[in-house]
Each structure stands twice: as C-alpha cells, then as structure tokens.
Amino acid sequence: MKINYSRLFVLGLGFMSISLTWALYNSYVPVFLDAALPAMAFKGLAIGFIMTLDNIASITLQPFFSAMSDSTWGRYGRRMPYLMAGIPVAAVAVTLIPLLRDNMTLMIASIVIMNVSMAVFRAPTVALMPDITPREQRSKANGVINLMGGLGGITAHFVGSRLYNIDPVVPFAMSGVVMLVSLLILRYAIKEPAKVEGVEGDEKPVSIFEALREAFSPEKRSLLYLLLAILFWFMGWNAVETFFTLYAKSIWGMRESTAALYLGIGSVAFLLFAIPSGFLAGKFGRKAVITSGIIWMSCVMTIMTILGIVGRAGIGPAVIALLVAAGIGWALINIHSFPMVVDMTTSAKTGAYTGLYYFFSALAAILAPPLFGLVRDIVGSMAPLFPFSAVFFLLALWSFSKVEAR
C-alpha cells in the first residue's frame, strides 16, 4: 500500500504545533520564573523543579491518557476527542503564561494547566500515525512527522525570538493560534478509520499498567529489551543536549551563543535526514538501521572525547562536522524507535504502547541530567560528558541486540 504523504503532512501539523509550543516554553519560561520568584535560597532548584513538570506529566498522565484513547470509540473517533479537549485549554494556558508573568501564583497555575492539558492530547496525537498508516510504512511516516515537528522547533527559535523582542506575549499567542488552527485542520482533514488495521472484534484495549506488565512477561522479552534500549539511548542523547553548551564553554573556551549555534546545526542535520532514514529502514530493515545508528553515535561520542583532550585551537569545523554526524546518527535511531514499539502489539493496544514509549523516553530526560551532574560534581570537570554518553549508547547496543528483528 502506498503511503499518503498529504495526509501525513496534515497530521504533522499537530506535531509542529506541539514542538513549537515546547520550544518557546523551554526557552522563555525559565526567564519569567527567574524574574517572578523572589530572591531566596535554592531559587534555581525551584525553577528547575517547575521546568520538570512536563517530564513528570510525560511519565504519569501522558501514558494514562494514551492508553485510555484506545477504548474511546465514538462519533469523533478514538484519538480526536483528546485533541478536541486538550488543545483549546493548552492554547489558552500557553498564551496566559507571559500575560501573567508579573503574578507568580497565576503564572504557575497557567504552567500547571498547560502541562496537564498537553499531556491529555500529546500521546493520542502521536498514536494517530500508526492508526492511519500501514505497518510497513510507519518508519517513513515517522520521518515525515519528525520533520514537521522539527520545523516547529526551528520556527520557535528563529521567528519566535524576533516576535519576543516585540513583546514576550506575541510568540506565545502565535503558538496558541497555531495549535487551534492545527486542531481545525486535523478535525476535518483526518478521518479516523471506523476499524483500525489489526484490531479484531474480540480484542480489548489495556491500561498502561497492564501494558507495562506485558513488557515484563517472558513472552514480551523483546519488548522489554527495546524499551530499555530506548531508555539508554535517550539518556546518552539527553545528557549531550543538556550540557553541550556548558561543555563547549568549559573545555573548548567557546562562547555560549557559538556552542548553541553549533548544536542547532546538528538539529538541522537530524531534520534533513529524517525522511531518508525512513527509506533506509524500508530497504535494510529497522533493526539494521538502528544498530548502525547506535554504533555510529558511539563512535561520534568517542571522537568528541578525543577532541576534548587535544585542545581548543581551530576546533570549530571539526565540532560542526561531528554534530552533523550526530544529527544523522540520531535520525537513524530515533525515527524508528516508536514504530518498532507499536509494531510489537495489535492496533487495539496502540495507545497503551505509545504510553510505554513516552514513559521510558521521558524517564531518560528526568534521569540523565542529574546523573551526569553528579558525575561532574565527583570529577570536578565537564570532561566526562561524551564518555558518559558513549557508555549509554553502548548499553543501548547491548540491549537492542536482544530485540528480535522486525
């Protein structure tokens, strides 16, 4: 069956609006919090805790709503009701955050409401992709959707920053409008099938807890190793994303803006390789492509470690080249991990397994930064960053080697 690219690009609008919103949120909400919170001990800790609410929602609420969407069959489909409930609330809440930035209590209330409402619809939006895409085409489809999501992040950084200089409210209001427009387009352009491929009449959806129990059963051992691999490779990548700017400043003497620009170039490489990565999986198989990506990333992190030892002079072009290589390697891995998870179950449980994917990937985002922070404190240097990342990619390689090829 041929892939319906026009429908995928429409679905990608939902991902673009999500990525746009999170990029603005992560870039500017810490600034609002820093200005609103009074001078106090552990102010940074308080800001850090508030900024982890999205990850807390990702490992608690998001899997719950994702699994629940498996059984919500009605006139609007089974995923669409969650988009219709969550997006309007999130659009209003994200607009209120900068409007209320001078009132700490109301701003934090808006942040909490935004995080809860985003958790309502984010995973059901992701679960729409396998619902409307044949199994053999899901890697290609995920490549298209990741491309659209990446465009949302780029829009936030390049357009949002200019709008922010006009007024901090403007980019957040833009994000709210984009979410509402995306909902209208998705509502009328995406028709959820009355019967999803792979769902038999006697099949029953499962809760996120039942799905987690399945992952630890002997029959689903391959799924457990895949989820562990996802945890490991996200820990390796999240550590680099979080600390690269600080590493480049400390070890190579780069300016923060230069390091952030270099990291952005790596992100662009990921976007450009997202769709080609899907085609490679169609030709060679997902397991072969992901395995090559993990080995590739392990090598990149090893070379980065060597660059951290040899010195600073004229290092810029080499760093750019390696970050481009890392972006390509990450596309070889990340584009296929979600399709592999949902392909390990029937479509009756797609939402629950989408929840499993987000649980393990979000858990990595919670664990990796403080774990490397502890390593840094023990060693007294940023130098272990890339060896730390390489270790987790190698752990991912070990775990993924035990996953049955699909």
- pLDDT tens figures, 245-262: 888 888 888 887 688 778
Measuring CA to CA, how many Å separate 97 from each of 15, 58, 171, 333?
A: 21, 20, 11, 35
- CATH topology agreement for domains 5-191 and 211-400: yes
Give CATH superfamily name and number for 5-191: MFS general substrate transporter like domains (1.20.1250.20)
Predicted TM-score (pTM) of this structure:
0.79
Quote the mean pLDDT of the chain: 85
Model confidence over 343-380: pLDDT tens digits? 888 777 888 888 889 889 889 988 888 888 888 888 88
Q: 125 is written with which tokens?
A: 């939006």
CATH no. of 211-400: 1.20.1250.20
Whether residue 156 contacts residue 27, with contact meaning beta carbons closer than 8 Å, is answered with yes
Domain borders along the chain are: 5-191, 211-400
Q: What is the pLDDT of residue 100?
A: 93
Q: 358 is written with which tokens?
A: 């987000």
Which range (15-24, 70-79, 104-113) has the least confidence? 70-79
pLDDT band at 15 (very low <50, low <70, confident <90, very high): confident
75 vs 286 pLDDT, higher one: 286
The phi and psi torsions of 51 (rounded to 5 degrees) equal -75, -10
> Where is mean pLDDT largest: 83-92, 155-164, 376-385?
83-92
